[in-house]
């Protein structure tokens, strides 16, 4: 028999507060889309989703971290400073978390 651990398909929150925080973003997004549909018409939520999808596709070369600044601005997430913004910086890492040890952007592009 296979004793290897099975991957969990349904990822659950580790704490009830984490679950509330994760659901709050989804709930507020759904309410925002409903409000746009009521105020501006049925096309407004579709247009907003298209804008989000377009801004989510902008990326830098492989190996360079994409900031997705346009998407953050659209979602109004650019004016808050989180723990990761200060303490999870690439400059503080012992080994590069983007390219890995001894790999350059050119190596990653050739791999693609």
Q: Kindly compute the dihedral angle of the four CA atoms of residues 65, 30, 37, 79, in this order, to the nearest 10 degrees.
A: -40
Question: Is the pTM for the entire model greater than 0.75?
Answer: no
Q: Rounded to an integer, what distance in angstroms lies between the CA atom of residue 54 and that of residue 52?
A: 5
How deeply is 2 buried, as exposed, middle or buried, from its count of CB atoms within 10 A (0-12, 13-18, 19+)?
A: exposed
Q: What pLDDT is attached to residue 21?
A: 84
Mean pLDDT for 84-95 is 68
Which residue bears the tokens 């989804």?
26
Above pLDDT 70, what percent of the chain? 73
Q: Where is 26: in which H helix or E strand?
A: helix 16-40
Nearest Cα to 56, choosing from 44, 36, 72?
72
90 neighbors 65 (Cβ within 8 angstroms): yes
Of 49-63, 64-78, 84-98, the one with minimum mean pLDDT is 84-98
């Amino acid at each position: 028999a296979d004793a290897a651990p099975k991957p969990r398909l349904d990822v659950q929150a580790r704490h009830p507060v984490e679950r509330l925080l994760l659901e709050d973003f989804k709930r507020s997004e759904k309410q925002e889309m409903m409000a746009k549909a009521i105020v501006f018409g049925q096309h407004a939520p579709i247009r907003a989703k298209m804008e989000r999808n377009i801004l989510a596709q902008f990326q830098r070369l492989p190996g360079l971290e994409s900031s997705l600044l346009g998407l953050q601005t659209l979602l109004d997430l650019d004016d808050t400073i989180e723990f990761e913004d200060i303490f999870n910086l690439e400059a503080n890492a012992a080994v590069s978390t983007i390219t890995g040890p001894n790999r350059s952007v050119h190596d990653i592009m050739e791999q693609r």
